[in-house]
Amino acid sequence: MSVYTTLSLQEVQAFAAPYGLEVIDLIPIQGGVQNTNYFIVCENGTQFVLTLFENIDEQGAGELVPVLEHLGKHGLAVPVPLKHSGKAIHILKEKPAQIAPRLMGDHPMPANIEQVQAIAIAQAQMHVALQDFPLERAEYRDHRYWRNVAREIKPTLDQADQTILNNLLGLYDALTAMYPNRPKGFIHSDLFRDNTLFDGNQLNGILDFYELNKDELLFDIAITLNDFCTEYPQVTLNEEKAQRFIEAYETIRPLTMDEKACLELYLAMAAGRFWMMRLQIAQKNSEDGRTGEDILQKNPQEMRNMLIERLKFVTA
């Protein structure tokens, strides 16, 4: 979440009025990288999150509403958007926008064992709940998409980084051909610690579903396991936390033997994807002249270093 589109209190008050909200304060949110987000504070003390979707149209923004409603009905702690006039997505400053409840809590920095187990169970519950969900997104950021991103980014890399990338993709091609039983479904794709909220060991919120797409469940596991089981600035994996994560996840959905065989590879692939994503976002921000303290840009080098570390444990 960042602030790419500046809003005034008066603009937000007018937008929020049809929801029955009397807004008295507006607070920019600087975390995240994709959309514009503000906390809005109402006269009665309740708080909400206002999101302007920067890169998708009204239809694309609305795709996620039934997903969040579905997950909410299954008992998952997700921010289900408010509605007025029968829909959740409306237009603000010529961009799709929504208002959702603000879920309270803190990002686990670092995560303890109990928090690792809690997010693993919730992730497995999401995978099961969305397994047969009838949704077609306009664009899936699946492996094919990220392969194309890597192809576009590759010419900008130096020779050493091109070698790292080629090694990763070669291992992926070899191992996934050997172990094909890797189930697909809808995955969060961005379930980092800064997209979760905890009150102690209680998981209070799972945020930022904008990267939701249909892909291998193992990628989702790898993304979240990498982040929750790594104690930055170090990029080595905490083996005890990783083991507890998998054990907790499997209480809801057991992994296939092929998924287990590919897990170390996918930890490397997840780091590689986010290396590419952060490079891509940095390029876009530079091209669009997006700068300032309200624009969060995560460091690609962090994911590059994690990729190198994870590759040490992958053998074809």
Amino acid letter, residue 202? Q
Q: What distance in Å separates the CA atoms of residue 208 and residue 210, rounded to the nearest whole number? A: 6
> 234: Cβ–Cβ under 8 A, 6 or more apart, which residues?
none
> Token pair for residue 135?
């949704």
Is residue 190 a contact partner of residue 223, using CB atoms and an 8 Å limit? yes
Q: What is the DSSP letter of 81?
A: P
Q: What distance in Å separates the CA atoms of residue 236 and residue 239, rounded to the nearest whole number? A: 9
Report the half-sphere exposure of 2 (CA within 13 A, side-chain side): 18
Domains in the chain: ranges and CATH: 9-101 (3.30.200.20), 113-311 (3.90.1200.10)
Report the half-sphere exposure of 265 (CA within 13 A, side-chain side): 22
pLDDT in tens, the chain (316 residues): 467 889 999 999 999 999 999 999 999 987 656 789 999 999 999 999 999 998 888 988 898 899 999 999 999 999 999 999 999 999 999 999 999 999 999 999 999 999 999 999 999 999 999 998 988 776 667 788 888 888 888 888 989 999 999 999 999 999 999 999 999 999 999 999 999 999 999 999 999 898 898 999 999 999 999 999 999 889 999 999 999 999 999 999 999 999 999 999 999 999 999 998 888 876 776 565 655 554 455 788 899 999 999 999 887 5
Three-state SS letters, 253-282: CCCCHHHHHHHHHHHHHHHHHHHHHHHHHH
